[in-house]
Amino acid sequence: MTTTLLVTGAGGVGKTTIAAAMAVHSARLGLRTLVVTVDPARRLATALGLDTLGTEPQPHTEEPLLWAAMLDAGASWKAVAKRHADPDVAERLANNEFFIAASQHFPASQSYAAADSAVTFVQAKAWDVVVVDTPPSGGGIDFFTAPSEMADLVGGRLLRWITGGPIPGRRLFYDRAARPMLRVAGSILGSDLLERVSEFLLDLRTTYDGVSRRGREMERVMSQAATVVVTTADPAPVQEAVRFYRELPAVASTPAAVIFNRALPDIWIEASTPDGSSPELRQLVEWWSLEAQRQHDVRREFSSRHGANVVTVPWSPTPLTDLDRLAALVGRDADLPWESLGIGPDSVST
């Protein structure tokens, strides 16, 4: 049984870092662990101290049970077409400019491609733990809603209306009647634009059954996955975290924890300066103490309001680019609910 952990949260809060850190921790417990990201900034590679990161999981050179992969959203869409369409249709789709544009601009496209690949890795049963660093596009929640959005896109009413009916008959009708008409329209417009659009729509439509079946599979895997929400104590990401607590239970599991990352330790609340300190130093310490108190209050409020399991990960003054520092970030002091995430010594398969 593969444990799946989805790390979500607003942009820039430290999702990739935390996903990498949790994966290192998991591997060091003896669990075969894969960490997956779609972060085009290659931050996962940096965080893991790797030069490159490919779309196929690769073993980490320094950590025997750790694998990592960085998904390419465009390439994954091609894989989606390959999986759900006849080979010639898949080939046509992959080269169709509208398919390429849709894979780049459909709001949930990155999320869909990421979710699809992540689910493939989970189903491969090659790892004990798959940690997925969800993409921040669309506020992150669309990673979870992407399967049904994709099914809506491919099987949507407009598309059904344009391309509906039994596909083979439609294709014949299209070839005999619509194509010549479109050619005329195209010649007026000075291009074969319309023909390319309807060819794309028809081809896309043939993937519907596969996509909707796959969507249900993806939703099942996601509903069984554990989720954690990463945030900082700043108002905007906290708002996002609240949204995850409200919306995730409908599409996935209730978050197992909210991780307040880059936190100032509580010890700062009581910080004081020795007698004789300069006024500048006294003021600085006072500011940091107030900030630590503010962060503490935000966490307490979050916990009491949303019944959340609040965990803090301290702000690290040193760059987080080696495995030991990463592992230490979520180690003993952070108090993550490892057992309920399915990442504990007991989860090691024999």
Interacting residues toward ligand ATP by CB under 6 A = 11-17, 39, 43, 136, 261-262, 313, 315-316, 320, 329
Tokens of 42: 């290659």
Closer residue to Mg ion in complex, CB, 143/200: 143
Burial of 163: CB neighbours in 10 Å, binned 0-12, 13-18, 19+: buried
Binds Mg ion (CB under 5 A): choice among 8, 16, 207, 295: 16
Give the pairing of strands 58-59 and 66-70: antiparallel
Residue whose tokens read 């997925």 = 132
Q: Choose among Mg ion, ligand ATP, none what residue 261 binds, the Cβ cut-off being 5 to 8 Å by kind.
A: ligand ATP
Closer residue to ligand ATP in complex, CB, 128/133: 133
Q: Choose among Mg ion, ligand ATP, none what residue 84 binds, the Cβ cut-off being 5 to 8 Å by kind.
A: none
Calpha distance 17→37 (Å, rounded):
11
Neighbours of 324 (CB within 10 A): 10
Tokens of 347: 């989860």
Q: Choose among ligand ATP, Mg ion, none what residue 237 binds, the Cβ cut-off being 5 to 8 Å by kind.
A: none
Instruction: State the minimum distance, in angstroms, from the CB of residue 281 to ligand ATP.
Output: 23
Q: Is 39 a binder of Mg ion (CB under 5 A)?
A: yes
Within 68-207, where are the H helices?
Answer: 73-84, 87-95, 97-105, 109-123, 142-155, 157-163, 167-173, 179-189, 193-206
Contact 37, 154 (CB under 8 A): no
Q: Is 240 a binder of Mg ion (CB under 5 A)?
A: no
Q: What is the largest CA-CA distance in the chain?
A: 92
Q: Choose among Mg ion, ligand ATP, none what residue 11 binds, the Cβ cut-off being 5 to 8 Å by kind.
A: ligand ATP
Closer residue to ligand ATP in complex, CB, 17/76: 17
Instruction: State the minimum distance, in angstroms, from the CB of residue 99 to ligand ATP.
Output: 26
Q: Is 219 a binder of Mg ion (CB under 5 A)?
A: no
Contact 46, 321 (CB under 8 A): yes
Closer residue to Mg ion in complex, CB, 71/151: 71
| Binding segment (CB under 5 A) for Mg ion, from list 7-15, 23-31, 208-216, 271-279 | 7-15
Instruction: State the minimum distance, in angstroms, from the CB of residue 241 to Mg ion.
Output: 16
What are the residues binding Mg ion (CB under 5 A)? Answer: 15-16, 39
